[in-house]
Structure 1
Amino acid sequence: MSETVSELARRRGFFFQASEAYGGAAGFYTYGPEGAALKRNIEDAWRDRFVTREGNMEIDSPTVTPEPVFQASGHLDDFDDMLVECPDCGESHRADHVIEDNTDVEDAESMPTDEVEALIADHELVCPACGGPLAGQSVTGFNLMFDTTIGPGDGDPGYLRPETAQGMFTEFPRLKEYARNQLPFGVAQVGTGYRNEISPRNALLRTREFTMAELEFFVDPAGDGPALDRVADVELPLYPVDAQQAAGEEYLRLTPQEALAEGVVGGEWVAYFLARSKQWFERVGVDMDRFRFRQHLPGELAHYASDCWDAEGEVDGDWVELEGVASRTDYDLSKHDEHADDSFTVFQAYDEPKTVERASVDPEMSYLGPEFGGAAGDVADALAALAARDRAAFDGDEVTVDVDGEAYTVPTERTGFEVAEETESGRHIIPHVVEPAFGIGRAVYTALAHSYEADEVDGEPRDVLRLPAEVAPTTVGVFPLMDKDGLGERAREIAAELRAAGLAVTYDDSGNIGRRYRRQDEVGTPYCVTVDYEALEEGAVTLRDRDTTTQVRVPIAEVAETLVGLRDGELRFEAL
């Protein structure tokens, strides 16, 4: 974000570094009055699109999570960034950022640590803080989760969640009941996440505390896909892996159906949510001429994802990640099904019962015990697993299974192997998950950067935020032409009536009317109402449009209804 917009954000109360009175803390920001309202409106627009309109449910889970959850999910082992420490000043840096900021390499994050170390040495890169040499320093993995304890004393180990997703996965056994065990269904959550970033930077882009809006959409991989005709007219700007590896900047512009037909996007639900995401970003003020979906390179895929596309917005020449649409397959639910004390499967009933052949074993433990001792139980389990996946293995006189790298051979007649017919009314499956995960702070940041414009009105320079009316912090500013002769009283009455109609209103009687207009333009207020002497005489006020500065007269009795229609997109100012 340019320094101009950053200064505007601080001065006008959008966001600023937290705890500045105590020197501040890197990676933590406070949203001021304008920023908090903008953030809340963007969150509400997200809920409208991905919860209400899609018919999904929303939950609110704790931000502190017991350690076993992250042991099962893999975050304890794999949720790392690459760290390099300066030997001179001791400052820690993200090694991939050091490379990307100082070389032509754009995808260092996807590289193994030994290649990152070699690049630092080859380019003789130095510490961004003190200029000391980093060549020869080891690059190590640094887990980003904040740890804590739950309970007094030593307590139980826990972590501040780095994403909201695990709260939705761990509650799946109960949530599936609320969904009546019918796939597909979605569970959404808007909440705070925490990551102990090595080097937070770029204002709201890389912070240690942030708001995420995530949807976990549970599907039967063999079930019906989405109604793609509902997004048939959405053109997706796609930047797939092969284009990136060829160092090209040409994007494919395809509809979801075309992207699937050409094999660019691998899953129907991923294609569907890419389209819905593009519609939403445009709705909240992201410039579609500076927007794309970039596919993750193989080396940067998260440990749980088989494919992922990042929605990115261009700000000051850099591409900013705004959202990831990931195919998480059945990774998460399978891990929790394996480790937790509940079932993470869904029973899917067949249209009609089916007769199937099922292989089973009933080993003679009186044989396995004396023969294999303490390994007998594991051998029995291995025989059962083998029968389920490869009944042909029992065709001979003996069958061999592997237990912890050691082979055990059992006479087939001692295994109790048989194949029997059973009638099934359905099947238990572990659903697959498609996840659109949004960074709300990043959406706020990009909407501000993309909506900012410096222009000229009546020969005077003007800073303006052309935020969509739906998300602008304030919908309307109400001004008396001057605070005398009853104008101020009538203006305050109108402001109260507009607030009662559910509109965000600011009242301002300070300075000349032009300055008041400029103040509201600068914070993105789309409309202003001016109460003049004609308002007292004729019962009509002046309504001004931020973007065009056009003014029209509107009867006072119709102002609230008119502004609600403009805010909600049901009216256009030109039509007035």
Structure 2
Amino acid sequence: MAGADLVELAKRRGFFFGANGAYGGTAGFYTFGPQGAALKRNLEDAWRDRFTLREGNREIEAPTVMPEAVFEASGHLEGFDDMLVECGECGESHRADHLVEDATGIEDAEALSGEAVEDLIRDHEIACPSCGSPLAGRDVEDFNLMFATSIGPGDGQPGYLRPETAQGIFVEFPRLKEYARGSLPFGITQIGPAYRNEISPRGGLLRLREFTQAELEQFIDPEADEPPLHRVEDVAVRLYPATEQEDDAGEYLDTTVGEAVEGGVIGSPWVGYYLGVAQEWYERVGVDMDRFRFRQHLAGERAHYAADCWDAESEVDGDWIEIAGFAYRGDYDLSKHDAYGDDAFTVFKRYDEPKTVERATVDPDMSVLGPEFGGDAAAVAEALETLAGRDPDAFEGETVTVEIGDDSGDGDGGGDGSDGGTRGIEVDADVANFSVEEVTENGEHITPHVVEPSFGVGRTVQTLLAHAYETDEVDGEERTYLSLAPEIAPRDAAVFPLVTNDDRLTDLADRVAADLRAAGLAVAYDDSGSIGRRYRRQDEVGTPFCVTVDRDGVEGDGPETVTVRERDSAAQVRVPVAELADELAALRSGGAFAELLDRYEVVETAVETTEN
């Protein structure tokens, strides 16, 4: 399906459309209409079912605005940038790496340096998309993508709209570990909005300034915890490893999760496990597996803290788009927040049996350090304690040298200073009172490692719509329909009275619709136009089942019945009204319509063209 066709269908049928149209629109922001909001909600529920409930994880909802200190610790203040190039003629800003990708066929220009992108812009004579002026010679600069705000009145406290939901989980780890009783492994999920001030939003829901993420942070003991890989070891996956991407003749690797982990293609068993879980989930919600792959990050695009990263990618309108990322983040996130924050971002790992170990300690004589070093005395004592734990051999001589910050106090102790750095302080070893003692330990504090599957909800919505778009012919008439999985479709069913001039039919149709809604099903009611046109309207928004009340269903001495039409095949069966809600609920949960064809009377499809 062409991208323009998808955007037109999405707008016409109420899936999604550009926001703030009455005021000229705002690039990078989309409103989900009634159909799209329902589809998105169903997708989120399906993700929650698989990655929270079935995995035994817990879900939180953290604020979307966080103070500046959080992003200083996480590294977002310094390293959350995209490449920007500004046109010298019209002043429009553009994503430089995207311009290069569009002009050269390079798939991952984001992995290149700014200088390399500048060279490609010059060599390929890339022009400004807005006015056509050459961009050669224009600087490619880093542009931080976070939205800044102020917390509180006036200047307030500087803050930012979160660029990912993950930081809300990491920041609350000291509290969350208590709910898990300090026991690893445990997982925390979150579904919610994130914000990135994209340079050039484009592609419908593919690159937005406000978007929804569904993320899982799995906290593990790297030395003890293994994933339940046996559950997914036989799941077939299509991989695009970095080695194949770098080879001009590179090809996909069609294998299983177990084989890929065993062979080292997937470096982390935990990442491999979640690739297998995601593969099954994407198939469940309706992604076309012929247009789906897992692509490994190249060295230049992988975050410095990530040991192994893979993206789930889908093909939409001829382009491969990232719809999820899977990263082994190590202890980077918790270590950074531990260093910056006031709480402990570690867990206590209890040994199976107590251990007796030797521990180096010092007991500095402050009656000597105080007079000798004045305001630096406390810093010297702390430095001695740190050195004892790191390098006990340093205390073997008559003196020991420690380093303290150059701005510590104003004492007149020895050592040559250097502005803004550190200076060495020499202390008599006997003043440090160094000793090695045997202590019994019951455990140790460790910093958990993090495995992160992160899903883009909006991108998955657009993928599902693109992959579900179908055309065929029914009763000699061409139709367009969305072959959405019943679990994901915006509506579970639609109810029609065949004609509106028979009170028996309209009364029963009203009652059937009310009963289905009471049973928890999302139901549309439509009595306008021919039954064929009503079917077509529901087909186009992906409604999987249409329920029609006709005269055959209300006449006679038997139980009331209705016809149930399946969207993709247009096949129909006659079902008793008393059994309808249970049958539709079973179909929504993954039941096969073919089973109804075996159990109930099949109805001829000529009814599709019957007029009111």
**Which whole-Å CA distance do the structure 1 matches of 2:289 and 2:427 have between them?**
65
Tell whether the 8 Å contact from 2:573 to 2:596 is kept in structure 1 after alignment: no
Q: CA deviation at 1:391?
A: 2.9
The aligned counterpart of 1:467 is 484
The aligned counterpart of 2:103 is 102
**Which whole-Å CA distance do the structure 2 matches of 1:481 and 1:407 have between them?**
92
The aligned counterpart of 1:58 is 59
Tell whether the 8 Å contact from 2:192 to 2:214 is kept in structure 1 after alignment: yes
Q: CA deviation at 1:383?
A: 3.5
Q: Tell me how large the CA RMSD over aligned residues is.
A: 1.8
Q: CA deviation at 1:318?
A: 0.8
Alignment of 1:329-348 (within 5 A): 329-348=330-349
Q: CA deviation at 1:268?
A: 1.8
Tell whether the 8 Å contact from 2:483 to 2:542 is kept in structure 1 after alignment: yes
* Alignment match of 1:425 (pick from 437, 442, 449): 442
Q: Could you tell me which amino acid in structure 2 is paired with residue 7 of structure 1?
A: E
The aligned counterpart of 1:25 is 26
Distance 1:195 1:421, change over 3 A: same
**Which whole-Å CA distance do the structure 2 matches of 1:389 and 1:256 have between them?**
42
**Which whole-Å CA distance do the structure 2 matches of 1:515 and 1:460 have between them?**
11
The aligned counterpart of 1:541 is 562
**Which whole-Å CA distance do the structure 1 matches of 2:33 and 2:267 have between them?**
42
String of CA shifts for 1:453-491, please: whole Å, max 9, x gaps. Answer: 112222211111110000100111111111122211111
**Which whole-Å CA distance do the structure 1 matches of 2:495 and 2:247 have between them?**
55
The aligned counterpart of 2:123 is 122
Q: Given the two structures, how large is their TM-score scaled by the length of structure 2?
A: 0.91
* Secondary structure class of the residue paired with 2:94: strand
The aligned counterpart of 1:442 is 459
The aligned counterpart of 1:563 is 584
String of CA shifts for 1:402-429, please: whole Å, max 9, x gaps. Answer: 5545444545444332221111111111
**Which whole-Å CA distance do the structure 2 matches of 1:36 and 1:370 have between them?**
71
* Secondary structure class of the residue paired with 2:56: coil
Per mean C-alpha deviation after superposition, the further-off stretch among 80-89 and 544-553 is 544-553
Q: Could you tell me which amino acid in structure 2 is paired with residue 517 of structure 1?
A: Y
Per mean C-alpha deviation after superposition, the further-off stretch among 88-97 and 430-439 is 430-439
**Which whole-Å CA distance do the structure 1 matches of 2:100 and 2:387 have between them?**
49
Tell whether the 8 Å contact from 1:566 to 1:573 is kept in structure 2 after alignment: no
Alignment of 1:34-433 (within 5 A): 34-302=35-303, 304-365=305-366, 376-403=377-404, 404=421, 406-433=423-450
* Alignment match of 1:551 (pick from 572, 582, 585): 572
Q: CA deviation at 1:277?
A: 1.2
Matched, 1:488 2:506: yes
Matched, 1:531 2:549: yes
**Which whole-Å CA distance do the structure 2 matches of 1:38 and 1:248 have between them?**
39
* Secondary structure class of the residue paired with 1:205: coil
Q: CA deviation at 1:564?
A: 0.4
* Secondary structure class of the residue paired with 2:300: helix
* Secondary structure class of the residue paired with 1:564: helix
**Which whole-Å CA distance do the structure 2 matches of 1:176 and 1:320 have between them?**
35
The aligned counterpart of 2:4 is 3
Tell whether the 8 Å contact from 2:234 to 2:258 is kept in structure 1 after alignment: no
Per mean C-alpha deviation after superposition, the further-off stretch among 399-408 and 250-259 is 399-408
* Secondary structure class of the residue paired with 2:205: helix
**Which whole-Å CA distance do the structure 1 matches of 2:579 and 2:262 have between them?**
50
Tell whether the 8 Å contact from 2:268 to 2:308 is kept in structure 1 after alignment: no
Distance 1:553 1:62, change over 3 A: same
The aligned counterpart of 1:498 is 516
Q: Could you tell me which amino acid in structure 1 is paired with residue 547 of structure 2?
A: V
The aligned counterpart of 2:525 is 507
**Which whole-Å CA distance do the structure 2 matches of 1:39 and 1:319 have between them?**
21
**Which whole-Å CA distance do the structure 1 matches of 2:35 and 2:334 have between them?**
40
Q: Could you tell me the percent identity over the aligned residues?
A: 64
String of CA shifts for 1:51-103, please: whole Å, max 9, x gaps. Answer: 11111111111111111111111111111111100000000001101100111
The aligned counterpart of 1:456 is 473
Q: CA deviation at 1:397?
A: 4.6
**Which whole-Å CA distance do the structure 2 matches of 1:133 and 1:17 have between them?**
30
Tell whether the 8 Å contact from 2:233 to 2:259 is kept in structure 1 after alignment: no
Distance 1:394 1:240, change over 3 A: farther
The aligned counterpart of 2:539 is 521
* Secondary structure class of the residue paired with 1:289: helix
**Which whole-Å CA distance do the structure 1 matches of 2:122 and 2:139 have between them?**
10
**Which whole-Å CA distance do the structure 2 matches of 1:246 and 1:379 have between them?**
56
The aligned counterpart of 2:417 is none
**Which whole-Å CA distance do the structure 1 matches of 2:403 and 2:267 have between them?**
36
Q: Could you tell me which amino acid in structure 2 is paired with residue 471 of structure 1?
A: I
Q: Given the two structures, how large is their TM-score scaled by the length of structure 1?
A: 0.96
Per mean C-alpha deviation after superposition, the further-off stretch among 134-143 and 102-111 is 102-111
Q: CA deviation at 1:561?
A: 0.6
String of CA shifts for 1:28-57, please: whole Å, max 9, x gaps. Answer: 100001000000000000100011111111
**Which whole-Å CA distance do the structure 2 matches of 1:379 and 1:261 have between them?**
51
Distance 1:219 1:458, change over 3 A: same
**Structure 1 unmatched runs, 5+:** none
Q: CA deviation at 1:400?
A: 4.2
Q: Could you tell me which amino acid in structure 1 is paired with residue 461 of structure 2?
A: V
Distance 1:373 1:101, change over 3 A: farther
String of CA shifts for 1:542-569, please: whole Å, max 9, x gaps. Answer: 1111111111111111111100000001
* Secondary structure class of the residue paired with 1:299: coil
**Which whole-Å CA distance do the structure 2 matches of 1:305 and 1:258 have between them?**
22
Tell whether the 8 Å contact from 1:27 to 1:208 is kept in structure 2 after alignment: yes
Tell whether the 8 Å contact from 1:361 to 1:383 is kept in structure 2 after alignment: yes
Q: Could you tell me which amino acid in structure 1 is paired with residue 204 of structure 2?
A: A
Structure with higher Rg: it is 2
**Which whole-Å CA distance do the structure 1 matches of 2:71 and 2:263 have between them?**
37
**Which whole-Å CA distance do the structure 2 matches of 1:52 and 1:117 have between them?**
48
The aligned counterpart of 2:412 is none
